[in-house]
Amino acid sequence: MDKLANPAPGFQRNPDKVITVEPYRGSVAVRAGDTVIARSTRARLLSEPPYPAVFYIPFDDIDFSKLARTGHSTHCPYKGEASYWSVLPAGEGAKDAMWAYEHPFDEMAEIRDHGAFYTSKVTVEATPD
């Protein structure tokens, strides 16, 4: 068995935990009002029961000119350290609206260079193929 270089401590403690990351077959758009923040046909859908599924959008499909990195961060024992961005067109209500695991643990490498958005702060529209 291959040894991981950066293993997730969460999976080491709880090897039965299941987190799936799959390509989403369709398109995903993120908006703040009428302003499109991201649009992608290459999003990934992360499922981690009991939490709602979350779309992770490739950085290349996100308009970072409409975002501002914040100093906020969180830690997930399964994914790693999350960095946050505010969505500028949405004002104060969209502070820390996007997060990303820029250097995830090995088991979650599929979400590297992808951002996810809080649906309570911006509109996330998914259209299946």
| pLDDT tops 90 at residue 5 | no
Domain boundaries, the chain: 9-128
Round to whole Å and give the CA distance between 117 and 84. Answer: 10
* DSSP summary character for residue 88: G
Query: CB-based contacts of 48: which residues, under 8 Å, 6+ apart?
Result: 18, 19, 20, 54, 78
CATH fit for domain 9-128, picks 2.60.40.10, 2.170.150.40, 3.90.1150.10, 3.30.43.10: 2.170.150.40
The single residue listed with the structure tokens 């499909």 is: 61
Question: Residue 123: which pLDDT band, with cuts at 50, 70 and 90?
Answer: very high
pTM: 0.94
Query: Tens of pLDDT along 49-107?
Result: 999 999 999 999 999 999 999 999 999 999 999 999 999 988 888 999 999 999 999 99
80: left (phi over 0), alpha (psi -120 to 50) or beta: left
Mean of pLDDT values over 4-16: 90
| pLDDT tops 90 at residue 114 | yes
Sign of the alpha-carbon dihedral angle for 23, 27, 31, 35: positive
| pLDDT tops 50 at residue 1 | no
